[in-house]
Structure 1
Amino acid sequence: MRSIEEHLAAVLATVHPTPVVELPLVDALGCTLAEPVRSRVDLPGFTNSAMDGYAVRASDCAGASEETPVELPVEGDIAAGDTRDLELTPGRCWRIMTGAPMPAGADAIVPVELSDGGTDRVRLRLAPEVGRHVRARGEDVRAGDELLAAGAVVTPGRLALLAAANVATVPAHTRPRVAVISTGDELRDPGTELGHGEIVDSNSLMLVALVRAVGAEPVLRARSRDDAGSLRAVLDEAADAADLVLTTGGVSMGAYDTVKEVLADSGSVDFAKVAMRPGMPQGHGVIGEGRTPLVTLPGNPLSAMVSFHVFVLPAIAALQGRDGDVDSWRSGAVPARAGAGWASVRGKTELTRVTLRHGLAWPASGQGSHMVGALADSNALAIVPPEVTAVVEGDEVACIPLVGAGSWSGAGVPS
C-alpha cells in the first residue's frame, strides 16, 4: 500500500502544462499566468483628491483653525471625471470631489467637513500640511512595475488591477480540458424512472461541477456500459478531446470492475491501494497516442469527492502551470479545533467530512464512502494522520476546504 504522497507524485509525473496563449482579459478569469505582467501606466494615472473638499495651496491656509478660519474665494468645481487642464491661482481654492484631478499649483485638500461648504467664498478651519488628502500619481503602481508574477491565478480582483493598469491581454496557460467518464450499466440520468438496482449518475455531475469550479473546462461527460468495448471507445474519444481524463467507478477488486479490467494490461496505467480513507482504490497513467493523463477514481460518491481534492486538484494546477509537489494536496488546509470527537483507523490517513463553524470542526453524521446525504452540508475535510486512532474534542486538526462549499464561517479561506 502506498502513501498519498507517493501516489500523487506518480500522478503529477504524467502531467505537463497546457500551451501558453495571449488571452484577452474577458477570457482570463481563473487562468494561470505563464509570464510576469507589468503595468503599462502609472496608478493612479494623475494626482487626485482623496476627499470631497477644497483644493488649496497649503501656504494659503497657514494658521487656519476652528477659532480662526481662513477665508478664500472659490474658483469653481472640479468633479470626478473632469478632464480640463486647470490651475490654482495663489490665494484662491477649487471645490473638488473625491477622485477628481488636482489643479496645477494645489498641494493639499481641506475636507468639506472642516469648512462652511461655501461655493463662492469658503471659510476653512484646517491648516493642512503639503500632501494632505492627496493621492500622488504613481503612488500605487509605476509604469513598468510587475503587477503579477508567473503562476498567479487571475482572480476578479487581479482582473480589475490588470484592467486599471491598461493591460489588454495576458500570457496564460489555456484552460485544461477535462473529460469525465462514469461507468456502470446501472447508471441513469437525474429525473429518470429508476428500475430495480438502478441509480442516478451523480458522480459525473459532481466531477464536472468541481472541474468547472477550479477554472478548468469540462469537454466531455460520457458514460460507459460495463463492457470492454464500450469503455475503450469512450476512452479513445476522451483521450483525443482532453488534457486530462477522469473516470469514476470500476477500480476495486470486484469481478465486474471494467475500468481496471480494460486498463490493467495496457502497460501505461497503474492501479494501487493508497493508505487513505475513503478512497483507497486508485489508478493513474496515460492513454491514447498523445499519452493523455488519466486518473481513475472510486465509484463511491464520497470517495470520488475526496480523491478529486487530493489527486485531481494538484493535477489540474500542474496543467495550469502552477508549481506543485507531493504535499500540495494539503497546502490549502486551515487550522481548526475538533468540536466533537470521532474515531479513526491506524495506518491510513483519514479524511473526515466536517463542517467548519467559527474555528470548530464538526464531524458529519455519516462517514461511509457511499453516504451522500451529509455531503451537501459539509464544507471541509479534516486530515487525521495515520498514527491517530481517535480525535478528541478540542484537538487541533488541519482541514481542507471543499471546492465550491461556500463560506467557512470564521474558519478562514486559503489564499
Structure 2
Amino acid sequence: MRPVGAVSHARGRMVVVSKPLTSVADHRARVAGLVGVMPVVDLPVADCLGLVLAADLVAPIPLPPFDNSAMDGYAVRAADLASVPVVLPVADDIPAGKTSLVPLEPGTAQRIMTGAPVPPGADAVVQVEWTDGGTSTVRVDRGVAVGQNVRLAADDVAAGATVLTAGTPLGPAQLGLAAALGFAVLPVRRRPRVLVLSTGSELVSPGTELLPGQIYESNGVMLAAAVREAGGEAELLRFVPDDVAAFHAAVGARLAEFDLLLTSGGVSAGAYEVVKDAFTGRGVEFTKVAMQPGGPQGAGRYQGVAVATLPGNPVSAQVSFEVFVRPALRAALGFAQVERPTALARLSAGLTSPAGRTQFRRGKYDPVSGQVVTPVGGPGSHLLSALAVSDCLIEVPEDVTELAEGAEVLVRFL
C-alpha cells in the first residue's frame, strides 16, 4: 500500500492525515474472495450457452448411432457393380428417419437419402449423380468400393467415451454435441444473480426532459449489460436518492435474492456519499485503490450478501468492473480463465501517467499495422465516448510515469 494525503481538522488547524493506498492486486483478490463458486444446477441444453460444464459428459450412445448414408443415392453391394453400366431393380425406398429396414438382396438396390440407415446386406452407397435416378429400376454408370459413402456407427464417438470434461465452456458446438448424444439437460454452474444499484438524486430516466442540475442515468444500464456479458443475471434498481434511510429501504427488501450487490457512486470523500454512509461499519470496507481511473472502491458483505461498490464517474465504474468484478463473476461461473485476453503492443503516441498508480487508458488496437495501439481520448473518468469506441484498455504500471511513442505496453481486449 502507498500513502495518500487526506485532510482533517484539529484545534483549528488543517492537518494532513496519511492513509494507505490499496494495490490493484489486493483489491482484486478481496472482491474475488467475496463471490464464491456458484452451485451446480441442471439446465435445459438450450439455456446453457456461455456457461461452464460442471461434470464430465460421457456418451450414452455412439455417434453416429447406426451406419448411415453420406449421400443421396442407392444402397448396393459393391460386388454387384463390378461391371458397369448395370441395371438393378430398386427393391425399397429408405428416407431419413425410417426405422424398419428390409435386408438388401444380391443383385438389387434400395434408394436411400442422406442420413438414412444403410440396410443389412448393403456395403456401399452409389451417389445419385452416377445413376439415371430411376425408381423401379436404376442404371448405375460407375462402380463404388466397399464402404464408400457410408458413415459407420461410432465413427465419431464411441459409447462410453468422455466427450467433454468438467470445466468446459459451453458454446454452440458443445451444445450441439450434447444434444446429438441425447442430453436434454446439462449440469452447469448457475449464473450469479447481481442487483445493480444506481444512486444519486440528480439521476433521471433517459427519454425525459432534463432540469438544471440533472443528468441521465447511464451507469446502471452499462453495468447491468456488463454483468450479462460476463455471464451473470442482472436486475437494475434505479434512482435511489442520496438518503441513507431510502437506500436501506430500497436495498434491504430485495438483497436476499441476489449473490452480489453492485453499486456505482456515493463512495468518495465528499458529502452526500450515500453508499459509503449506508455501509460504513456494516461489513463493507472502503478504500482508495492505486489506479486511475477508479480510485475510490468498497467491498465486503452486508446481511450475508457480497457487495462491491464502484465510483460514480462512468469510465471509472466500467473500468473498475473490468478490473475487479468481471474476473470474480467468471470465477463464480467456473471458468478457469477469468481474465480478458491480453497482448503486447506498441504505442502509436506517447502518454503520461500519475506516479504510484496503475493507469488504464482506452485504446484502439491495430494488429494489421504491426500490433500498434492508439490511445483514445484522455485519462479523464468522464470521457465515456472514448470508452465506447475503444476495443482495449492500455495498462500502464504504477512505477511508470511516461511512455514514448513506440513503447511496448500491455493491452487488455474488451
> Structure 1 CA distance, aligned partners of 2:411 and 2:67?
47
Q: Would you say the 8 A contact 2:87–2:140 is kept in 1?
A: yes
Paired residue secondary structure (2:34):
coil
Aligned to 2:387: 375
Q: Which string of whole-angstrom CA distances, capped at 9 and with x for unpartnered residues, describes residues 11-56 of structure 1?
A: 1112222333322334434443332233332222221122233333
Given the two structures, how large is their TM-score scaled by the length of structure 2?
A: 0.83
User: Would the alpha carbon gap of residues 109 and 221 (structure 1) be closer, same or farther in structure 2, given more than 3 Å must change?
Assistant: same
> Structure 2 CA distance, aligned partners of 1:53 and 1:131?
14
- In the alignment, residue 309 of structure 2 is paired with which amino acid? T
Instruction: Map 1:215-364 onto structure 2 (within 5 A).
Output: 215-266=231-282, 268-288=283-303, 291-323=304-336, 328-329=338-339, 332-335=340-343, 337-338=345-346, 340-345=348-353, 347-356=356-365, 359=368, 361-364=373-376
User: Would the alpha carbon gap of residues 161 and 340 (structure 1) be closer, same or farther in structure 2, given more than 3 Å must change?
Assistant: same
Structure 2 unaligned segments of length 5 or more: list them: 1-20
Paired residue secondary structure (1:13):
helix
Q: Would you say the 8 A contact 1:110–1:124 is kept in 2?
A: no
Q: Would you say the 8 A contact 1:251–1:281 is kept in 2?
A: yes
Aligned residues: 387
User: Would the alpha carbon gap of residues 114 and 372 (structure 1) be closer, same or farther in structure 2, given more than 3 Å must change?
Assistant: same
User: Would the alpha carbon gap of residues 116 and 364 (structure 1) be closer, same or farther in structure 2, given more than 3 Å must change?
Assistant: farther
Given the two structures, how large is their TM-score scaled by the length of structure 1?
A: 0.82
Q: Would you say the 8 A contact 2:191–2:233 is kept in 1?
A: yes
User: Would the alpha carbon gap of residues 48 and 393 (structure 1) be closer, same or farther in structure 2, given more than 3 Å must change?
Assistant: farther
User: Would the alpha carbon gap of residues 245 and 49 (structure 1) be closer, same or farther in structure 2, given more than 3 Å must change?
Assistant: same
> Structure 1 CA distance, aligned partners of 2:132 and 2:408?
60
User: Would the alpha carbon gap of residues 10 and 96 (structure 1) be closer, same or farther in structure 2, given more than 3 Å must change?
Assistant: same
Instruction: Map 1:113-192 onto structure 2 (within 5 A).
Output: 113-119=129-135, 120-128=137-145, 130-192=146-208
Once superposed, which parts of structure 1, at least 4 consecutive aligned residues long, lie more than 6 Å away?
A: none
User: Would the alpha carbon gap of residues 189 and 164 (structure 1) be closer, same or farther in structure 2, given more than 3 Å must change?
Assistant: same
Aligned to 1:35: 55
Paired residue secondary structure (2:42):
strand
Q: Would you say the 8 A contact 1:28–1:170 is kept in 2?
A: yes
315-324 or 197-206, which moves further after superposition? Answer: 315-324
Q: Would you say the 8 A contact 2:392–2:411 is kept in 1?
A: no
Aligned-residue identity in percent = 43
Structure 1 unaligned segments of length 5 or more: list them: 402-415
Alpha-carbon offset, residue 397 of structure 1 = 4.3
Q: Which string of whole-angstrom CA distances, capped at 9 and with x for unpartnered residues, describes residues 277-328 of structure 1?
A: 322222211111xx1111111111111112212221122223324446xxx3
> Structure 2 CA distance, aligned partners of 1:122 and 1:337?
64
> Structure 2 CA distance, aligned partners of 1:57 and 1:395?
66
Q: Would you say the 8 A contact 1:72–1:93 is kept in 2?
A: no
> Structure 1 CA distance, aligned partners of 2:68 and 2:101?
13
1:199 aligns with 2:215: yes
Q: Would you say the 8 A contact 1:226–1:258 is kept in 2?
A: yes
354-363 or 145-154, which moves further after superposition? Answer: 354-363
Q: Which one has the largest radius of gyration?
A: 2
Alpha-carbon offset, residue 114 of structure 1 = 4.2
Q: Which string of whole-angstrom CA distances, capped at 9 and with x for unpartnered residues, describes residues 194-243 of structure 1?
A: 11121111000111122223332224524322222222333323432211
179-188 or 1-10, which moves further after superposition? Answer: 1-10
Aligned to 1:400: 413
User: Would the alpha carbon gap of residues 113 and 379 (structure 1) be closer, same or farther in structure 2, given more than 3 Å must change?
Assistant: farther
Paired residue secondary structure (2:268):
coil
Q: Would you say the 8 A contact 2:396–2:409 is kept in 1?
A: no
Flag the structure with higher strand content.
Answer: 2
> Structure 2 CA distance, aligned partners of 1:392 and 1:82?
68
